[in-house]
Structure 1
Amino acid sequence: MRSAAGVIGASTGKDSVAAAFTVVPPDRQKNTLQVYRPVCLPVGMFKASVLLVLMWSSGYLGAEMAARYSSWHMLLSCRFAVAAVLLIGFCVVRQLRITRAGIARQVGLGVVMQGLYLGAISAAVGAGLSPGITALICSLQPLVVAAVAVPVLGERIGPREWLGLAVGIVGVGLVVGGKMNSGGAPWWAYLMCVGGMLALVSGTLTQRRIASREPMAAALAVQCVVGAVIFWIVNAIVGETVPPITFDFAWSLAWAVGFATFGGWGAYMWVNREAGPMHASTLLLLVPPATILIAWPMFGDPIGPWEIVGVAVSAVGVAIKLIGGRAQSADQQTAPQRTPARDTEVRGPELVRE
Structure 2
Amino acid sequence: MTADRRRRAWLAAMPLLFVALWSTGFIGAKFGLPYAEPFTFLFVRFLLTLVLLVPLVGLLGGRWPRGLANWGHIALSGLLVHAAYLGGVFYGIELGMPAGLASLLVGLQPLLTAALSGPLLGERLGRRQWLGLVMGLAGVALVLGGKLDPGQALFRGFGLGALGAVMVALAGISLGTLYQKRYCAGMPLLGGTVVQYLGAGALLGLGALTVETRHIEWSPTFLLTLGWLVLVLSISAILLLMTLIERGEASRVASLFYLVPPATALEAWWLFDERLPAISLAGMALAIAGVVLAVKGGRPAQR
- Shorter-chain TM-score range: 0.7 to 0.9
For 2:126 and 2:97, the matched residues in 1 are separated by 34
Within the candidate set 27, 30, 34, 1:61 is matched to: 27
How do 1:199-210 and structure 2 match up within 5 A?
Answer: 199-210=172-183
Q: Is the 8 A contact 1:296 1:302 kept in 2?
A: yes
- Tell me, in whole angstroms, the C-alpha distance in 2 between the residues paired with 1:315 and 1:119: 23
Offset, 1:86: 1.3
* Match in the other structure for 2:196: 223
Question: Is the Cα–Cα contact under 8 Å of residues 139 and 172 in structure 1 kept in the other structure?
Answer: no
Counterpart for residue 80 of structure 1:
46
> Which of 74, 89, 92 is 1:106 aligned to?
74
- Residue type at the aligned position of 2:264: T
Which of 226, 244, 247 pairs up with 1:253? 226
How far the C-alpha of 1:168 sits from its partner, in A, is 3.9
**If the length of structure 1 is used for normalisation, what is the TM-score?**
0.64
What is the root-mean-square deviation in Å for CA atoms of aligned residues?
4.0
Q: In the alignment, what sits opposite 2:3?
A: none
**Matched ranges for 1:101-180 at <5 A:** 101=68, 102-129=70-97, 131=99, 134-135=102-103, 137-174=105-142, 177-180=145-148
Instruction: Render the CA deviation track for 1:121-174: whole Å, top value 9, x for unaligned.
Output: 433443455557645653553343222212332333211222233334444555
- TM-score for the superposition, normalised by structure 2: 0.74
Q: Judge conservation of contact 2:23–2:264 (CA < 8 Å) in 1.
A: yes
Deviation readout 1:82-136 (Å, 9 max, x if unpaired): 1111110111212322123432222111222222332234334434555576456
- The answer to whether the 8 Å contact 1:80/1:228 transfers is yes
Give the whole-Å Cα distance in 1 for the aligned partners of 2:22 and 2:142.
20
CA distance in 2, matches of 1:158, 1:270: 31
Q: Among all aligned residue pairs of Structure 1 and Structure 2, give the percentage whose two residues are the same amino acid.
A: 30
Structure 2 CA distance for aligned equivalents of residues 190 and 269 of structure 1: 33
How far apart, in 2, do the equivalents of 1:249 and 1:316 lie?
35
1:321 aligned to 2:288?
no
Query: Residue 115 of structure 1 aligns to which amino acid in structure 2?
Result: A
Partner of residue 166 from structure 2, selected from 193, 199, 203: 193
> Which whole-Å CA distance do the structure 2 matches of 1:275 and 1:161 have between them?
23
Q: Contact (CA 8 Å) 1:84, 1:222: kept in 2 or not?
A: no
Shift of 1:228: 2.5
Structure 2 matches for 1:311-350, cutoff 5 A?
Answer: 312-325=285-298
Instruction: For residue 219 of structure 1, report the CA deviation from its aligned partner.
Output: 1.1
Q: What SS class does the counterpart of residue 214 from structure 1 fall into?
A: coil
Amino acid at match of 2:190: A
- Alpha-carbon distance, 1:217 to partner: 1.3
Deviation at 1:285, TM superposition (A): 5.0
The size of the alignment, in residue pairs, is: 283
Match of 1:237 in 2: 210
What is the aligned partner in structure 1 of residue 265 from structure 2?
A: 292
Gapped regions of structure 2 (runs ≥ 5): 1-10, 149-154
Query: Cα deviations across residues 14-61 of structure 1 (Å, max 9, x unaligned)?
Result: xxxxxxxxxxxxxxxxxxxxxxxxxxxxxx89954x455433321111
CA distance in 1, matches of 2:212, 2:137: 40
Please tell me whether Structure 1 or Structure 2 has the larger radius of gyration of its CA atoms: 1
Q: Determine helix, strand or coil for the equivalent of 1:324.
A: coil
Larger mean Cα displacement after TM superposition, 139-148 or 206-215:
139-148
Q: Distance in 1 between matches of 2:117 and 2:13?
A: 22
**In 2, distance between residues paired with 1:312 and 1:144?**
18
